[in-house]
Amino acid sequence: MTSTVKSITGFTIVMLITLPWDVLGFAAASDHQSPSVNLNAIPEINESTLNSTIAEHIYFILDCYAPLCRPCETMDAALKELSKDLGDQVALGRINLDENGQMAERYNITYAPTLLTFRKGTLVDMQEGPISGQELLGTIYRLSPDINTSQVDLSAFPEVPRALMQNVPLADLGIDNPGLPMLINESNLDSAIVKYPFFVLEGFAGWCGFCKMMNVTVMELSQDLRGQVAFGLINTDTNSKVTGDYGITTFPTILIFKNGVFRQMVMGYAPASELIKVLDDIDPGLRSSKYNLTPSTARKNRIAVPNVEFNGLNL
């Protein structure tokens, strides 16, 4: 492996090339020009190259992501836009948390995505969850006010909801008409589906920033639809059988049950005003004090599931 480094005052971008020289079509001593590379690509870092990469730059921003993480994809898109607009003025890298667990433990990373900012090899800023282009720009400006941001078009950045919340109050499982979500696991999911005629379960992951936002949505709807719909939260990190049984590959994922029947799956984050319309499609008799319930079309990212009667999975 070899690396190509392009420098400008105070900032560099490192492009890692993993193909051998003979595959690229020239020998080490060749006079041929280097192959073209995408200067907007964000280099992939790993634990063996992390320290040396950080040490090479005055300022370095590291995107810590996880595979199959939609908020991570949003963050990646924002960073690529920023790299394109700022050119060679900023150094960026990304690291796969699933494949670099020691690094995650070293910096106490518990959510994906997480953005780490280094100055002269020292960690100076850490931001959990997806952040907007404006926030990214503000982070860089605080580190280097002299950076030229005149070419940055914030309208091109993905929109990122900011209703993040660390903790959600819970109701005790089994109570009648819960006004808060209940914590569900593999051993009590069956009984919850049987007890509550209209039951909505959010599958979340501890590292998932958008799951924290969905937790807020679930809490809001638990209060608004009390007595009509019961809500639960299940940690897919510790209940992997549920993940496999229902084919959960995206976080958060909403599973909707009506009278013991698995009716619908909603993948990805949805605000309360959207999710309640999905529920109203299943039960048009819902009453809400906060949201206007009118006939709605299906959300683009929701999956219709055939009405197969719940068969009492051995969870």
- Does residue 226 have a pLDDT over 90? yes
Name the residue ranges covered by the structural domains of the chain: 2-156, 182-309
| Whole-number pLDDT of residue 178 | 95
DSSP state of 171: B
Instruction: Check residue 156 and give its pLDDT.
Output: 62
Residue 176 CB burial class (10 angstroms; 0-12, 13-18, ≥19): exposed
Please give the sequence-ordered ranges of beta strands (E in DSSP) within the chain, or none if there are none: 2-8, 11-17, 44-45, 59-65, 92-96, 114-119, 122-128, 182-184, 198-204, 230-235, 253-258, 261-267, 302-309
User: Is residue 135 exposed (0-12), middle (13-18) or buried (19+ Cβ within 10 Å)?
Assistant: middle
Q: Residue 143 has which token pair?
A: 């580190």
Report the catalytic residues.
Answer: 208, 211
Q: Would you tell me how many other CB atoms lie within 10 Å of the CB of residue 259? A: 14
| The CATH fold of domain 2-156 | Glutaredoxin (3.40.30)
- ω into 161 cis (within 30 of 0): no
Owner of token pair 């969870």:
315
Query: What average pLDDT does range 159-165 have in this prediction?
Result: 46
**C-alpha 263: how far from its chain's center?**
25
Task: Please tell me if the domain spanning 2-156 has the same topology as the one spanning 182-309.
Answer: yes
Amino acid in position 188: N
Task: Give the C-alpha separation, 218 to 276, whole Å.
Answer: 10
pLDDT band, residue 14 (cuts 50/70/90): very low
3-state secondary structure of 10: coil
Residue 194 has pLDDT above 90, yes or no: yes
Residues 6+ apart with CB under 8 A from 20: none
Quick: pLDDT tens for 44-95.
999 999 999 999 988 888 999 988 887 788 888 888 888 888 777 778 999 9
Cα–Cα distance, 9 to 18 (Å, whole number): 27
Say how far apart CA 15 and CA 285 lie, in whole Å.
Answer: 57
Q: In whole angstroms, what is the distance from residue 181 CA to residue 163 CA?
A: 17
The confidence score (pLDDT) of residue 63 equals: 93
Tokens read off for 112:
């994906």
What is 182-309's CATH superfamily? Glutaredoxin (3.40.30.10)
Question: Global pTM?
Answer: 0.49
Q: C-alpha distances in angstroms, 292 versus 138, 209, 287, 301? A: 37, 28, 9, 21
For residue 226, count CB atoms less than 10 angstroms from its CB and return exposed for 0-12, middle for 13-18, buried for 19 or more.
middle
